[in-house]
Structure 1
Amino acid sequence: MNDIKPIAQMTDGIVLAKFESLKPRSESYQSEAQLEDELIENLISQGYEKLDIHSQKELCENLKTQIERLNNVKFLPSEWERFLKEYLDAPSDGVVEKTRKIQEKHIHDFIFDDGYLKNIKIIDKKNINNNHLQVINQLNQSGSHANCYDVTVLINGLPLVHIELKKRGVSLQEAFNQIHRYSKESFNTQSSLYKYVQIFVISNGTYTRYFANTTAENKNNYEFTCVWADAKNRAINDISDFTATFFTKRVLLEILTKYCVFDVTNTLLIMRPYQIAATERILWKIKSSYETRKSGSINAGGFVWHTTGSGKTLTSFKAARLACELGFIDKVFFVVDRKDLDYQTMKEYQKFQKDSVNGSKDTKELKRNIQRDDNKIIVTTIQKLNEFVKKNSQHEIYNKHCVIIYDECHRSQFGEAQKNIKKSFRHYYQFGFTGTPIFVENASGAKTTAGVFGAQLHSYVITDAIRDGKVLKFKVDYNNVEAKFKSVELEKDEEKLKALENKKFLLHPERISEVTKHILDVFDSKTHRNEQYTVKLKRLNGFNAMFAVQSIEAAKLYYEEIVRQQQNLPEEKRLKVATIYSFAANEEQSANGDIIDEGFEPSALNSSSKEFLDRVIEDYNEQFKTNYSIDGDGFTNYYKDLSKRMKNKDIDLLIVVGMFLTGFDAPTLNTLFVDKNLRYHGLIQAYSRTNRILNKVKAFGNIVCFRNLEDATKEAIKLFGDENSINIILEKSYNEYMNGFVDEEGKKSVKGYIEICNEMVDKFPEPTQIFLESEKKEFAKIFGDLLKSENILRNFDEFDSFESIISDRVMQDMKSVYLQIREEALKSKKNDENANSKIDFSDVEFEVDLLKTDEINLDYILALIFEKSQNQEDGEVFKEEIKRVIRSSLGTRAKEELIINFMNSTDLSKLNDKEEILEKFYKFAKEQKDVQINKLIKNENLKDSSKRYIETSINKGFASSAGTDLDEILPAVSRRGGAREAKKHTVLEKIQKLVEIFVNI
């Protein structure tokens, strides 16, 4: 390891200022076993103890030894068993409870048999050098399957970090998928210490990533894995380099003890390197400014430029918490805008310190919190803090050392309030976080971010985030939907544009009608909204959208027009539309591009605007059975509920003027329609509502402009990136995706959609006739490329009129074959993880998420059966066609026999309508479900409580072996020779088959 050298390492920090690997790369072939051996050797050279254990029993024995060492105690066998049951391995504990023990409840008051009470810790957070690090490999553990794990790092005997390796050249996603298989099959079985894993690391040697062990479904995608990097955001990819930095003992222990957040939703978050680097820079600035007596000046602070969507609030939250631990700091103020007090981060502060959040309308509560000695952190709004300093000119807090952190310093922190706060506090250390700083170019005479907060301490700009896959690119459409208004829409001069807006040229009824029609026409394709619906009229998939308009009057006109144009549509096909706005006072000194901030004072609106807002909220109340208004706290509560429903995708389209265009974070939102004059930071902020990562289907943020914002977009991108940023931040053109292109580095040629389709047709004209393993692998790779290409092209309007090269029928067969190959590959892996199969599918990434965008649901299939039956088509031909449709869908494949049995047992010709076939099928399916459950219980001799477990599994959509539920329904079986585990495995697989058949029925 001596030939890998960190350069310019910070003395206190864990993120290197710069990292350069001097280790020459070997050109020789490296097997997975060799990669594993090299990793272990490197860890040993860094001070890890290599432990030669391979069973759960040995793991538990070592754990006892390590906990005794850490706490300087000796457990009697009976005491150790009681300690396990009471605390360390309580039978009811799952991953969440185990994570809570590491992150929050790492000390347990244990009473020994002699009555002696001692605090037993499982990790030492105060002195991290007291923790002992060991490394093990190839540990065997049984669950629903017997698994053999690659490399695990034990801290005080607990497996807190697990590393899954693949040989070089194999897709990194395969290692990610394997961890998820282990999570289902063995990690989380009863008494498994692997429930304690906090961090997963995956590597194929060439690339390495890490991610948190969490049960949160929205964080369990590959897109949420992270690269490790230095402070300049240069990725450290190779496993040797990653080991030399991330796995340095101090770095790993500080990440586990300082840079993890277990939030109020029981989700474990592990900070990314740029978040840690920024936090460390802030702490360094506070310490150095205190030591050099610079407090109370601009030199005692600074700002952090982390692009929108990169997690600034988490970084500022962690910086504030760690600043509290500095002995010389008396108070830490976390300052937000008024509307941000309902954000989840505020709940995190309440969890961290009760009563830290001050949300009342007067300053009395704020004053009381400031004066309390046990309240070191105060969360408040800039408006409230300004009121406090105006009313309390001679308070003792002004002479104390206070850290003031502004969560979003591009909003209202540049005005009079900022001046008053700085003038009052004599020993302040002030820091601002922003995704879009104010520079000289967009200041327009106002102060710059550096002029208010001091030097830039760390940056992670949009190009960094796109490169790392932390945010998405933008695809921007510029539309002129009505020719007679083209000259107005193309106007670039801001003064002329304002004059035209004042004359309401852009609010002409014809234009409002045409823009609305265009939105409704393209909405499904832009948001990937599936046109099929379930019986309950709930959309299966897709995203939602916002519509940014210039004024309150525009919001009113568009809302009414959308409602009018949807009147003749069936209820299930209408968009759920909402709008929100409030009074916005004109600010005298605002930077060029500011989105005027709307306050929470709808009472200040004129009567017409107020009356319309009343009506809109009434519509909302009727739709969602709520009871909001514009009076008192009613409007604030409407805002909060609207925010939640947008994040939950309960609303399809939200029309806004200023609200929600800055700071709002909803990963389900992928499209922004724009009929608003956006510039500079305001443009980037608004566009960035769409570019949060979610899953593979969400390929980029869709921007649909009804004004000429092309030059404004390019100017904004250049300001917050550089001359070359446009190609990085904006998506390729339709023609490039259709015909192919060379990537940004000019190295890799990317095939176009047309070439991929032709290749599929030429090589596999009869996809159902593929029998050779080598052909199956080639088919899976090419078809995966086709799915990825098609997923992107669906966002282009031009693609709607493209005449498909592959017929619908052949495409159905291809999807069916693709899913069949995937099932065979998965079955092969499950049967024997270490077997050398005929064909290695480990470098094939099956794009099942992209298939779900075309998902054929059960109701659609039943409606199709009804239509075909009314046409009196040939019975066998009819059935074969239905089978083809069923097999092409991931969600219905398992239901094929059930559906065909229903068709065989029902006189379809006597059905009157689609509703009747739905009713008859669901009745038939429920009867069959009961029959199959009872049959399974009888055949496997399961206990009486098993029916509830099976029903619960079907309702959840999966059968789990975690916890004790599955064990409790099994019959008495000897544990000798693994008989009980084999029985458990068999029963679990059979229950899972029932789940796949009857889920959603």
Structure 2
Amino acid sequence: NTRNNGYIWHTTGSGKTLTSFKASQILASEENIDKVFFLVDRRDLDDQTEREFNDFQPDAVDRTDNTRQLVKQIEDIMNPIIVTTIQKMANAVKGERYKKIMEPYKDKRVIFIIDECHRSQFGKMHRDINRHFENGQYFGFTGTPRLPENKSEDGRTTADIFGKCLHHYLIKDAIHDGNVLGFSVTYVNTLGAELEDIPAQEVQAIDTDEVWQADDRIDLVARQIVEHHNRKSKDKGYNAIFATDSIESLTKYYDKFKELEHDLNIASIFTYEANPDLSGGKVHHRDSMEEMIEDYNRLFNTNFSTDNYESYRADVDKKVRECKIDILLVVNMFLTGFDSRRLNTLYVDKNLNYHNLLQAFSRTNRLDTDKKPYGNIVCFRNLKEATDESLRLFSQTDDIDSVLAKSFDEYLDLFKKQVDILVGIAPEPEHIDQLQSEEKQKEFILTFRDLTKTLISLENFDEFDFTEEVIGMDAQKYQDYRSKYLLIKENHERNKHEKASILDDIDFAIEIMHRDKINVDYIMNLIGEIDLEDEEKRQEDIDYILKELDRADSERLRSKVELIREFLERVVPKLTKDDSIISEFTEYEQERKGRVIMETAEEYKVPQDRMMGLIQEYEFSGIIDKEQITNTLTEANYSFIENYEKSQELERFIREVSEEYA
């Protein structure tokens, strides 16, 4: 209703970009507005952003650098909203060839919605656009505005450009509402002195290559990352970005990672100058990038080069999201605008502050499962003061505890208290079987679930060791309690259709913390490696697999535990070195399946071939033919009530037998 400008401060990760795009659509429907331009910086227009925009409005985004296409869209009076880059818009208003089309818009009512306005709007391009559209109105969206403390190089703030802040939703608000995660920040000393003994200003002043790029220091940092990355990434369930201070540093780290022994997929990406200074024997950065892309091609069987760099960038983007790259080395790329819920760790070896720091940290704080309680930040420089100042500034509070995760000691204290409560309910795991009332079972479930959430947070810390001495409970006892938890869950799932239960209201979907991937493939590999020549070794292998079965996390594996246990105890001891264990298992599995189906068919008075047909149809299509079950039971002369009850039982049997023998 006014002609004033303004900006909206919505923290990174809170849906700011889509909120701003939706606002553009609403404004575009107003009769008194001639055009709405949604401007993004070219650096922020990645594949994900393009997909999100096009989901809202098909073909909304033109990724090309073709300014003529933009001008054609502007000329179309039936096109009320245009998504484009600030770079193309600046070209359109300056280009003499476009003057005839652009001139009429000088005094028209046009609205500009500018995404990430803290960055792209401080420069000549914004001034050129502003001068041309004399009747334009500007609304900026940002997660980290320029404030007096972090004003731009020319001394201006976001308020100087856009006027007042119209609405704010700060990072502390988003964390409180559960829309983004907080951060767990670790500072690793790499300078050979206590970090707290070095004034922050002195650390920031250390910028010579001889210190930061010293071979011993590069080796120290790289080894630290390799040693702890699997823990940080939950055994490669998540991945990381490593932010370095220069292409030279990135290259040294990349080469060092190639020297070290590990199973991590490491890639890198950076931009390079077309005509750099190559004096003093310097290597062209494009040549360095080319070598790294060649490694990438060998790793992923691709065919990229610097000649199709944009395609390489898009593929790196895709593989980071898919968690196929474990660690991506960067200088500045991917530290703003990149969103991936599978990214949970940022390694930092560069000086960051204010908006640059929070933007980089925020790559890690997108929501995922309970296995990701917060974003992990590992700083190899003393950024403590810069971190605290940035969080205070962008939370508008001195209380930064609402943004930062607890320390290891705080989580440990909480975990030990939860262990005490658990032991009070059931001193030993076997005592869970004696909890007859559902009220007591519920108390155990809620306590164990909360304890597990704390354990997931503890596991991220380097100090973590799953022993009773360190955390008050060892891994085996935890696994034993967990088995009881899963048993209650399975029994409840099996019987929940038969009667109402106070357990119905409990969320059993917690990600149970585990260190190893105990699944069907893992167990079958162990079975295939059983030593059939040495009887003593054979029994050791069997005992080990049986122990691993007790730690089964996978629901699919837990459904096959009884089958596998029988095979190991009844069949394997009789095999010779000439037998194929996997073939014997397959044969035993099919025999047992046939026997179970035959016995159940006889019990329910159902023809065996019809029972087999029902199971095969479910295995093929995922559909249970309920009508055929009812008709078959009617033929067996069951009463109406018996028919209903036995139909439910047979449906459950069909699902269970299909899962067990899948």
Q: TM-score, normalised by structure 1?
A: 0.58
Residue 110 of structure 2 corresponds to: 402
Unmatched runs of 5 consecutive residues or more in structure 2: none
CA contact (8 A) 2:190 2:221 kept: yes
Asked whether 1:578 is paired with 2:287, we answer no
CA contact (8 A) 2:496 2:504 kept: no
Asked whether 1:365 is paired with 2:69, we answer yes
| SS in structure 2 of the partner of residue 727 of structure 1 | helix
Residue 555 of structure 1 corresponds to: 250
- Cα distance in 2, alignment partners of residues 323 and 859 from structure 1: 54
Residue correspondence of structure 1 range 681-830 to structure 2 within 5 A: 681-739=355-413, 752-761=414-423, 763-769=425-431, 770-774=433-437, 775-800=440-465, 803=469, 805-830=472-497
Offset of residue 972 of structure 1: 5.7
Residue correspondence of structure 1 range 463-482 to structure 2 within 5 A: 463-481=172-190
| SS in structure 2 of the partner of residue 694 of structure 1 | coil
- Cα distance in 1, alignment partners of residues 463 and 455 from structure 2: 13
Offset of residue 519 of structure 1: 0.4
- Cα distance in 2, alignment partners of residues 845 and 853 from structure 1: 22
- Cα distance in 2, alignment partners of residues 943 and 998 from structure 1: 13
Asked whether 1:947 is paired with 2:616, we answer yes
Residue 614 of structure 1 corresponds to: 290
Offset of residue 323 of structure 1: 1.4
Residue 906 of structure 1 corresponds to: 572
Unmatched runs of 5 consecutive residues or more in structure 1: 1-287, 530-538, 584-600, 740-751, 954-959
- Cα distance in 2, alignment partners of residues 922 and 318 from structure 1: 57
CA contact (8 A) 2:370 2:510 kept: no
Residue 78 of structure 2 corresponds to: 374
CA contact (8 A) 1:306 1:461 kept: yes
| Of 207, 218, 233, the match for 1:512 | 218
Residue 421 of structure 1 corresponds to: 129
| Of 623, 634, 656, the match for 1:993 | 656
CA contact (8 A) 1:973 1:979 kept: no
CA separation of 1:754 and 1:969: change in aligned 2, threshold 3 A = same
Greater shift after overlay, 773-782 or 657-666? Answer: 773-782
- Cα distance in 1, alignment partners of residues 588 and 174 from structure 2: 48
Residue 87 of structure 1 corresponds to: none
Offset of residue 756 of structure 1: 2.8
Offset of residue 654 of structure 1: 0.7
CA separation of 1:776 and 1:362: change in aligned 2, threshold 3 A = closer
| SS in structure 2 of the partner of residue 849 of structure 1 | coil
Q: Deviations over 1:740-766 (max 9, x none)?
A: xxxxxxxxxxxx222333444465343
| SS in structure 2 of the partner of residue 471 of structure 1 | coil
- Cα distance in 2, alignment partners of residues 673 and 397 from structure 1: 47
Offset of residue 454 of structure 1: 2.0
| SS in structure 2 of the partner of residue 388 of structure 1 | helix
- Cα distance in 2, alignment partners of residues 981 and 605 from structure 1: 82
Residue correspondence of structure 1 range 539-554 to structure 2 within 5 A: 542-554=237-249
CA contact (8 A) 1:671 1:702 kept: yes
| SS in structure 2 of the partner of residue 888 of structure 1 | coil
| SS in structure 2 of the partner of residue 304 of structure 1 | strand
Q: Deviations over 1:689-712 (max 9, x none)?
A: 111111111101110000000000
Greater shift after overlay, 725-734 or 935-944? Answer: 935-944
What amino acid is the match of 1:468?
D
| SS in structure 1 of the partner of residue 12 of structure 2 | coil
Greater shift after overlay, 872-881 or 359-368? Answer: 872-881
- Between structures 1 and 2, the one with greater strand share: 1
Residue 138 of structure 2 corresponds to: 430
Offset of residue 864 of structure 1: 5.5
CA contact (8 A) 1:472 1:693 kept: yes
CA contact (8 A) 1:462 1:729 kept: yes
Residue 461 of structure 1 corresponds to: 170
Residue 452 of structure 1 corresponds to: 161
CA contact (8 A) 2:435 2:441 kept: yes
What amino acid is the match of 1:480?
N
- Cα distance in 2, alignment partners of residues 491 and 608 from structure 1: 36
Q: Deviations over 1:547-605 (max 9, x none)?
A: 11101111111111112102xx4xxxx1111111003xxxxxxxxxxxxxxxxx76779
Q: Deviations over 1:171-220 (max 9, x none)?
A: xxxxxxxxxxxxxxxxxxxxxxxxxxxxxxxxxxxxxxxxxxxxxxxxxx
What amino acid is the match of 1:442?
N
Residue 259 of structure 2 corresponds to: 564
CA separation of 1:691 and 1:340: change in aligned 2, threshold 3 A = same
Offset of residue 824 of structure 1: 2.7
Offset of residue 352 of structure 1: 5.5
Asked whether 1:670 is paired with 2:378, we answer no
Offset of residue 386 of structure 1: 0.6
- State the percentage of identical aligned residues: 37
Residue 334 of structure 1 corresponds to: 38
CA separation of 1:828 and 1:852: change in aligned 2, threshold 3 A = farther
Asked whether 1:849 is paired with 2:538, we answer no
| Of 304, 321, 331, the match for 1:628 | 304
Residue 327 of structure 2 corresponds to: 653
| SS in structure 2 of the partner of residue 906 of structure 1 | helix
- Between structures 1 and 2, the one with greater helix share: 2
- Cα distance in 1, alignment partners of residues 533 and 478 from structure 2: 26
Residue 28 of structure 1 corresponds to: none
CA contact (8 A) 2:118 2:144 kept: yes
CA contact (8 A) 2:11 2:143 kept: yes
What amino acid is the match of 2:393?
L
Offset of residue 841 of structure 1: 3.0
CA contact (8 A) 1:973 1:980 kept: no
- Cα distance in 2, alignment partners of residues 968 and 988 from structure 1: 11
- Cα distance in 2, alignment partners of residues 801 and 982 from structure 1: 47
| Of 544, 551, 561, the match for 1:888 | 551
- Cα distance in 2, alignment partners of residues 724 and 813 from structure 1: 44
CA separation of 1:816 and 1:348: change in aligned 2, threshold 3 A = closer
Q: TM-score, normalised by structure 2?
A: 0.86
- Cα distance in 2, alignment partners of residues 326 and 474 from structure 1: 41
CA separation of 1:369 and 1:998: change in aligned 2, threshold 3 A = farther
Q: Deviations over 1:42-81 (max 9, x none)?
A: xxxxxxxxxxxxxxxxxxxxxxxxxxxxxxxxxxxxxxxx
- Cα distance in 1, alignment partners of residues 609 and 363 from structure 2: 52
- Cα distance in 2, alignment partners of residues 617 and 640 from structure 1: 13
Considering Cα pairs closer than 8 Å and 6+ residues apart, tell me whether 1 or 2 has the greater RCO.
2
CA contact (8 A) 2:345 2:375 kept: yes
Asked whether 1:305 is paired with 2:9, we answer yes
Offset of residue 610 of structure 1: 0.7
Asked whether 1:897 is paired with 2:562, we answer yes
| SS in structure 2 of the partner of residue 581 of structure 1 | coil
CA separation of 1:682 and 1:858: change in aligned 2, threshold 3 A = same
| SS in structure 1 of the partner of residue 315 of structure 2 | helix
| SS in structure 1 of the partner of residue 364 of structure 2 | coil
| SS in structure 2 of the partner of residue 800 of structure 1 | coil
Residue correspondence of structure 1 range 262-277 to structure 2 within 5 A: none
| SS in structure 2 of the partner of residue 941 of structure 1 | helix
What amino acid is the match of 2:233?
T
CA contact (8 A) 2:519 2:553 kept: no
- Cα distance in 2, alignment partners of residues 942 and 605 from structure 1: 78
Offset of residue 334 of structure 1: 1.2
